[in-house]
Structure 1
Amino acid sequence: MAPASRPPTATPLAASSSRIDSPSLKAALAMALIHYKRLPSTTAAAAAAAGTSSPPLIHWKRKAKERKREILRLREELKLLQDGVRGEAMEPPLASCRCHFFDGCSDLQPPPPTGGGEHWVDEVLRRRFLRLARWKEKRRRLDRSLPVTSLMEFNSEDEIQQLSLSTDFLVELSDGIFAKKESCSTFATFSHQAVDFILSLLKNILSSKRENELVEEIIDGLVTRLMKRMCTIPENAGTSDSGPVDCSDAQFNVQHLFRKLGNEEFIGQRIILAVSQKISNVSESLLLLDPFDDSFPDMHGNMFIMIQLIEFLISDYMKIWLCCEQFDKKIFEEWVRSILKARKDLEVLENINGLYVVYIERVVGRLAREVAPAAHQGKLDLDVFSKLLC
């Protein structure tokens, strides 16, 4: 019986050709070729080994370093802000121009004819002042370790809130000149912006006849706080190693702030009322004070500053106030009576210093001339007016 024949076996070449024809192998070869083309060339690998990089890589490395430096700088600024040590370093720079806000602050003269009680604030200055005032408020709250969540609730359209913020800013400015014993280069510019901003806001709020009680509370607080700065004594002003500190220049700066704020009748009449009441209080203190007491010269100087301020306000704005549509006759009569009381209290001090009576009589005489038409128009009680003429 013949042996069974074997099936023919495939040659190696035929096997390899059959594997190449398979779709899976073709796909694998194609992927290998694509991967090979994506590999960096030998020159790029050699350059990387030598310490150099391609231009795109250098660009992104530089960007990463810049971003890291920016983050570190912001962290440092945040730390300094929380520590409250930045001071004026973070205040935005000012243009190198001289503000004439305090020029002629000791001159007794009527306001320029173009004044007319109108105050206009440029929109750019308005936005810049609000940014600065909000930054000052944030720093003040951080320094006092108060919660800052309420800072995010600031409404830029709320004029009442803007008025409160700007008055706080002005008081902080006056604190700064007493702390440094002199006004800095930016004090005139910032105080000028603050005063004009307050007067402009107040005019808009009063014209709408809303929130009068709240506005009156804000203005009374402003007058009271500035009064404490102007009538400073050594206990408040501080002393140095060489003796008491002279704060006369700072006091006259605050007096000038009062004079500028008095352009608005709503503020000016309240300033005179507060100052005249303060004169009566100081006169009682001087009557009981030892002339050799260390605080006597300061109280003596404060007396003249206050009398001079009343004379400035009456001379500058009395006619304008009387023509104002929103003129408050009630407070007008109140501060006139308060001035008469101050004159009576100062007459008791005539033996100590006769100049007090001389200066207050000059103020009363000027006041009588200015309010004579108002008395005949019924804006002032004739009995009170007759006492001014005595």
Structure 2
Amino acid sequence: MAEGGNAGASDESLKLAVAISLLRSKFMKNIKDCNAISPSQSDTLLRWKRKAKERKQEILRLREDLKESQDASHCDLFPENASCKCYFFGSLGELNPKHHVNDSENRFNDVLRRRFLRQVRFKERRRRVGSSSQQRLSLGLIEEDETEQLKASVDFLVELCETVSAVSVDDSKFANLAHQAVDFISVSLKNLLSTGRNPEPVEGIINSLVTRLTRKMCSYLSENGSQHTGTNAQFCIQHLLRKLGSEPYIGQRCILSVCQIILVLAERLLFSDPFDDIFPDMHECMFIMIQLIEFLVADYLLEWSKAEDFDTVLLEDWMTSIIQARKALELLESRNGLYALYMDRITGELAKHVGGVSLLQKVKTDIFNRLFH
């Protein structure tokens, strides 16, 4: 009996040992299978490691740029609340303003320009937070795509105009940033046009700028209705378009766009109820746009004509649009004769310039003659 008991115990021990051995073998096999990575999994792992490394480097670069921007702000010669000495809005509403720039103003403008570039970089980076794009915008620091710089400056100026009000028009910070934005857009546009490459994106950006600012200038055209209190803010945006219009590429497109809006607005005024609540906004919008055309023609037409790349085809287009706008406003003479009177003043100024400049005499004869009829 004792021998039988020992044999049974030995069999049980043997079975247990075999079971443990099998489990251990299976466990080791599973570990090897887990450690074995397929080529596709290996590529994925390397790609994620590379992305993590790039993200870490990007964070380090952003920290360095932030530190550099903070350090540069202490190097300015003037305090943050320094007023704009360029009198950017000093000629608001004046016809043919004259202002002479001296060396001290140029020195001050350099300081304001650095502040403007820091503001644009900050807003552009905040807009790109969470984006997978690795493209960096470093205006004024490294050479990058001029088109992106132009687009960023345009977006900055339009967003700046979102905050404009009767109070902020007199705010020195708003004047500083608006001035530098206009100057930077002009410089970037000149650089892009000088290359002569791929003009379609540039034209799209400028057309978008003109359209967006025009809508903000006229509360009637705004999607949210009247957004500003008083007319100071509207005249402020008109002044921005006037300053931007010093560049013929912008100014001519601005006149063409405004004339087309006048044609649409004139038709609506013709069939609108004068006692409608929106009628005063339409009336005010009309005068602001007519005045903008007069400013651009009187201030810059002679200067535009001296440019080597002056677009006479575009000139004929907006001259035709002005003639059409005048005829459309003549239909409103019974309601408000000032519309036609102001347009006659513009066409008279235009005829005087066209007849006195040799380059502008390339305009088609029939278009020129229609200015007098």
Scaled by the length of structure 1, the TM-score of the pair is 0.67
- Closer, same or farther: CA 369–132 of 1 in aligned 2, 3 Å: same
Whole-Å separation in 2 of the counterparts to 1:385 and 1:271? 20
Partner of 2:217: 230
Q: Is the 8 A contact 2:82 2:172 kept in 1?
A: no
Amino acid at match of 1:248: T
Whole-Å separation in 2 of the counterparts to 1:351 and 1:264? 37
Q: Is the 8 A contact 1:195 1:260 kept in 2?
A: yes
1:163 aligns with 2:150: yes
- Closer, same or farther: CA 114–209 of 1 in aligned 2, 3 Å: farther
Partner of 1:344: 327
Whole-Å separation in 1 of the counterparts to 2:254 and 2:372? 23
Partner of 1:173: 160
1:307 offset after TM fit, Å?
A: 0.5
Whole-Å separation in 2 of the counterparts to 1:194 and 1:161? 14
Amino acid at match of 2:303: I
Deviation track 1:278-305 (CA, whole Å, cap 9, x = no partner) reads 1111101111111111110011001000
Partner of 1:308: 291
SS at match of 1:325: coil
1:98 offset after TM fit, Å?
A: 3.6
Amino acid at match of 1:386: N
Q: What does 1:364-383 correspond to in 2, within 5 Å? A: 364-374=347-357, 378-383=361-366
1:306 offset after TM fit, Å?
A: 0.5
- Which of 229, 233, 248 is residue 250 of structure 1 equivalent to? 233
Q: Is the 8 A contact 1:374 1:380 kept in 2?
A: no
Deviation track 1:188-216 (CA, whole Å, cap 9, x = no partner) reads 00000000111111112212212211111
1:246 offset after TM fit, Å?
A: 2.6
- Closer, same or farther: CA 375–192 of 1 in aligned 2, 3 Å: same
1:163 offset after TM fit, Å?
A: 0.4
Q: Is the 8 A contact 2:88 2:175 kept in 1?
A: yes
1:148 offset after TM fit, Å?
A: 2.7
1:245 offset after TM fit, Å?
A: 5.4
1:93 offset after TM fit, Å?
A: 6.9
- Which of 337, 345, 355 is residue 354 of structure 1 equivalent to? 337
- Which of 245, 268, 273 is residue 290 of structure 1 equivalent to? 273
1:189 aligns with 2:166: no
- Closer, same or farther: CA 292–375 of 1 in aligned 2, 3 Å: farther
- Closer, same or farther: CA 375–295 of 1 in aligned 2, 3 Å: farther
Deviation track 1:132-179 (CA, whole Å, cap 9, x = no partner) reads 11212333456xxxx43336443652211100000000001111115x
Q: What does 1:124-163 correspond to in 2, within 5 Å? A: 125-140=112-127, 147-150=130-133, 152-154=135-137, 156-157=142-143, 158-163=145-150
1:375 offset after TM fit, Å?
A: 6.9
Whole-Å separation in 1 of the counterparts to 2:359 and 2:146? 38
Amino acid at match of 1:104: S
Whole-Å separation in 1 of the counterparts to 2:163 and 2:223? 13
Partner of 1:323: 306
- Closer, same or farther: CA 114–235 of 1 in aligned 2, 3 Å: closer
Q: What does 1:206-217 correspond to in 2, within 5 Å? A: 206-217=193-204
Whole-Å separation in 2 of the counterparts to 1:295 and 1:345? 20
Q: Is the 8 A contact 2:355 2:361 kept in 1?
A: no
Deviation track 1:251-302 (CA, whole Å, cap 9, x = no partner) reads 0000000110011111110010011111111101111111111110011001
SS at match of 1:389: coil
1:97 aligns with 2:80: no
1:107 offset after TM fit, Å?
A: 0.8
Amino acid at match of 2:236: N
Whole-Å separation in 2 of the counterparts to 1:293 and 1:286? 11
Any gaps of 5 or more consecutive residues in structure 1?
1-91
Identity %: 47
Amino acid at match of 1:173: L
1:182 offset after TM fit, Å?
A: 4.0
- Closer, same or farther: CA 378–121 of 1 in aligned 2, 3 Å: farther
- Closer, same or farther: CA 376–136 of 1 in aligned 2, 3 Å: closer
Whole-Å separation in 2 of the counterparts to 1:237 and 1:338? 28
Deviation track 1:12-34 (CA, whole Å, cap 9, x = no partner) reads xxxxxxxxxxxxxxxxxxxxxxx
Whole-Å separation in 2 of the counterparts to 1:214 and 1:120? 33
Q: Is the 8 A contact 1:375 1:382 kept in 2?
A: no
Q: Is the 8 A contact 1:109 1:315 kept in 2?
A: yes
Amino acid at match of 2:80: L
SS at match of 1:292: coil
Amino acid at match of 2:83: C
CA RMSD of aligned residues (A): 2.9
Whole-Å separation in 1 of the counterparts to 2:296 and 2:185? 18
Any gaps of 5 or more consecutive residues in structure 2?
1-77
1:378 offset after TM fit, Å?
A: 4.4
Q: 334-343 vs 185-194, which deviates more?
A: 185-194
Whole-Å separation in 2 of the counterparts to 1:346 and 1:96? 45
Whole-Å separation in 2 of the counterparts to 1:277 and 1:297? 20
Amino acid at match of 1:149: S
